[in-house]
Every structure is written in structure tokens, then in C-alpha cells.
Amino acid sequence: MIDMVSIALIGASAALLFVLTVWKRKAPKQFRLIEAFSHLYRSIGLSVEDGTRLHVSLGQGGLLTPRGGSALAGLAMLRHLSERTSVSDRPPIASTGDPTLGLLTQDTLQAGYVAAGVDDLYQPTTGRITGMSPFGFAAGAMNIIRDEHVSANVMIGHFGPEAALLTESAERESIVTLGASDDVTAQSILFAASQHALIGEELYAAGAYLGASASHPASLTVQDVLRWVIILVLLGGATAKFAGVI
């Protein structure tokens, strides 16, 4: 029964995503305002103009774990940030705490350079694996924030409580931090410790807000549809329980 529901959910989501992606190619994009993304736009422009750089931290979401979704969302964001800021005097630096994610980070950064037509400027050392344990990773990423002329710190992916160490480091250097994690504890920490925190599924909206392909806005619509389905199922279940049907 559970398998059938799962297959139906995945199948319906896939079909909806496909249809909406085709449809959204022509439709104008309309999103609600998320302040964090507006500030990110400004930070991108600032980093290119004043010769500073972005630090994009993708956390520790290994691709073989359920945390891989947030890592993939982070990579989608990194792809666009690297394309837009690769011509800067100081190109963006990306840090991760997972080896598989580290390899993809370097590949994604390079793809951004290729798309911007400056592939010869790409330096492999701008994609870094700073540590393999949560605190080891944080300690390595803190050095980047402190020593590498960073003007904006973007944290997007899977982080735990160690996120506070990165935000604190950025705060000391007067660097703006945009933080998003799929972990509830890290979200509460980022809400308190960063200037701009993305809560819940906003993490997965980054690609759409940064102007990625039509599949990104389409996936937001799919999420909205599924959310309403879940709300209706929850309300229906509660009503049925209240009425003694189940």
C-alpha cells in the first residue's frame, strides 16, 4: 500500500513537473518577494564591482544520504553564482565538507566559467573540501571567510549547529550572510545568527529566484500543488478521525 502511494506520488509529481516545465517556458515568472534573494542580487553586483568575492558554502550533505537534496539545490545556486561572478577580480570560492559533493562543486564552478566564456580563468583550488567532520569543515570554512577578501557569505545545503561558527566568523568581518539548511536546528540557528535566513522549502527556491531554467519555477508550482494535497489529506484525516470513521 505504502509502495503504491509512493509510486503514485512520484509519478504524479514527475508528470506535473514535465507539463509545467513546458508550460512555464512561455509564461512570465512571478514570485513572492523573499528579501534574502534581493540582498543576494546586490551582493553579487557588489562583489564584482569592488573586487571582493563570494564564499558559497554547501555544507555536508553527502549525495548518498537523504541530505543530498539540499546539496543539489546548493549546486544549482552555485552554478548561477559562478557564472555571474566568474569575471570578477576575485572569483567565488566554494567550500564543502563532503568529498563527493566536493568533486561536484569543482565541476559546477568550472561549468559556470565555461558558460561565462572565461573557462581559462577557472582555478581548481576555488572549490575546496575544508574538512570531513562537521567542526573540521566549519574550522576550514571560517578561514576562508576571514582571509580571502569575502564580501558575502552564502550558506546553502546541509548544516548542523556548526553553522553558528560560520555566521559568527562572518559577523566579525562585517560580512553579510545568507543562510539556508534542510536541518531544523540549523534553521533556527541561522534565523538568529545570520542577516538573511531561508526557512524550510525556501532553500529549494534559490534556482528559480536566480533565473535558472524553466524547470525551477515549475518545481516550485509542483511543491505548492503537493503541499495543498497534503493539507487536504491531513484535514480529511482529522475530520474522519473526529467523526469516528477511522
Partner 1 sequence: MRVVTVVIAIAFGVMILAGYFIPALSDVQTLFLNWAIILTGAAALAGIFNLLSVHGEKIRRREKGSPYSALLILSLLMTFLFSLAQGLSNGYMRLLLNDVMGTILNGVILPAEAALMSILAVTLLYAAIRLLRRRVDLMSVIFLITAAVVMFGSATLPIGNMPVFGALRSWIAEVLAIGGARGILIGVALGTLTTGLRVLFGADRPYGGK
Interaction with partner 1 in 18-57: which residues (CB under 8 A)?
18, 21
**DSSP β-ladder status, 196-198 and 176-181:** parallel
Q: For the chain, what is the total number of helices (H) and then of strands (E)?
A: 9, 6
Comparison of 87 and 184: residue with beta carbon closer to partner 1:
184
Place of cell 576555488: 126
104 interacts with partner 1 by CB under 8 A: yes
Q: How many angstroms separate the CA atoms of 89 and 12, rounded?
A: 46
215 interacts with partner 1 by CB under 8 A: yes
DSSP letters for 121-159:
G--GGGEEE--SSHHHHHHHHHHHHHHTTEEEEEEEEE-
Q: How many angstroms separate the CA atoms of 225 and 228, rounded?
A: 5
237 interacts with partner 1 by CB under 8 A: no
**Residue choice 1, 3, 30, 245 for contact with partner 1 (CB under 8 A):** 3
Comparison of 50 and 148: residue with beta carbon closer to partner 1:
148
SS3 16: helix
Q: How far is the CB of 47 from partner 1 (least distance, A)?
A: 19
Comparison of 49 and 234: residue with beta carbon closer to partner 1:
234
Place of cell 489529506: 233
Comparison of 59 and 68: residue with beta carbon closer to partner 1:
68
Question: For the window 191-210, what string marks contact with partner 1 as x by the rule CB under 8 A?
Answer: xxx-x---xxx-xxx-x---
Number of residues that bind partner 1 (CB under 8 A): 80
Cβ-based neighbours of 228, under 8 Å, separated by 6 or more: none
145 interacts with partner 1 by CB under 8 A: no
In one letter, which amino acid is 189? I
- Contacts (CB under 8 A) with partner 1, residues 105-134: 106-108, 110-111, 114, 124-125, 127-130, 132-133
Question: For the window 154-173, what string marks contact with partner 1 as x by the rule CB under 8 A?
Answer: -------xx-xx-xx--x--
178 interacts with partner 1 by CB under 8 A: no
83 interacts with partner 1 by CB under 8 A: no
What is the number of alpha carbons within 13 Å of residue 19 lying toward its C-beta? 8
Which helix (H) or strand (E) covers residue 246, if one does?
Answer: none
Stretch that binds partner 1, among 40-48, 70-78, 84-92, 238-246 (CB under 8 A): 70-78
